[in-house]
Amino acid sequence: MAASPSFDIVSKVDRQEVDNAFNQAEKELATRFDFRGTGTVVAKSGEAFTITSETEERATAALDVFKEKLVKRNISLKSLDAGEPRQSGKTYKIDLKVVEGIESDKAKAISKKIRDEGPKGVQAQIQGDQLRVTGKKRDDLQAVIALLKQEDFGVALQFTNYR
């Protein structure tokens, strides 16, 4: 008999789709008439992004454009950590970071939820920045997935390696 059924709970982002959303937002900011002459730019440095503009309103509007492009590419906004607009000299900046992985406190909350409200005989183990859920029956695992989809843990969750 094979090992007991299991699946992994992860929080990952397709980096190529994030880059595509960044490129689309960059093009839209360059061509839209309401951004002309405002010095509004989206810049990428490593894994982080920075939105720069002459006014706070235009910086916030540029952030909305970037979020819109992420949503169109099926990237959850829970994966985007956007700072508050801050003044830097004569310009306003917003720092953005794409978050991957499940932090340990959120992983503990997910594990506790499975333990408290999930079917009997289902265990969740924290493995780095992901969780492995095992159980006796596949139906129990599907019940756990349904339970977790109803709850908001503040992270974009994906369910992988369902065996």
pLDDT digits (tens, 9 = 90+) for 2-35: 578 999 999 999 999 999 999 999 999 999 999 8
Q: pLDDT (tens digit, 9 = 90+) per residue, 38-58?
A: 889 999 988 899 999 999 999
Asked whether residue 114 is assigned to any structural domain, the reply reads yes
pLDDT-based confidence at 37, cuts 50/70/90? confident
Number of domains the chain is built from: 2
pLDDT digits (tens, 9 = 90+) for 99-111: 999 999 999 999 9
Give the domain-ending residue among 98, 114, 143: 98
Tokens (6 digits) for 85: 């607009």
Provide Rg for the chain, Cα atoms.
20
Same domain, yes or no, for 147 and 108?
yes
In this prediction the pTM is 0.84
Split at pLDDT 50, 70, 90, the class of 122 is very high
Domain C-terminal end among 50, 76, 98: 98
User: Average pLDDT in the 62-74 region?
Assistant: 95
- Residues 140 and 94 placed together within one structural domain of the fold: no
35 within some domain: yes
Start-end of H helices in 2-137: 15-31, 56-72, 104-117
pLDDT in tens, 82-99: 989 999 889 999 999 999
Q: Which amino acid is located at 73 in the chain?
A: R
Average pLDDT over residues 52-77: 94
Residues 6+ apart with CB under 8 A from 75: 13, 14, 17, 18, 21
Same domain assignment for residues 35 and 73: yes
CB 49 within 8 A of CB 43: yes
Sequence-separated (6 or more) residues with CB below 8 Å from residue 57: none
**1: pLDDT strictly greater than 90:** no
Tokens in use for 129? 């920045």
Question: Given this model, what pLDDT does residue 2 score?
Answer: 55
Does residue 112 share a domain with residue 143? yes
For residue range 131-150, list pLDDT tens digits in order. 999 999 999 999 999 999 99
Quick check: is 1 in a domain?
Answer: no
Give the range of the structural domain holding residue 122, as residue numbers without chain letter: 6-12+102-160
What's the rounded Cα separation, in Å, for the pair 33 and 28?
10
Count the neighbouring beta carbons within 10 Å of the beta carbon of residue 116: 7
Q: Which of 72, 98, 124 is the last residue in one of the domains?
A: 98
Give dist(CA 58, CA 103) in Å, integer: 32
Q: Is residue 92 part of a domain?
A: yes
Closest by CA to 57, choosing from 112, 94, 100, 11, is 94
Average pLDDT, the chain: 91
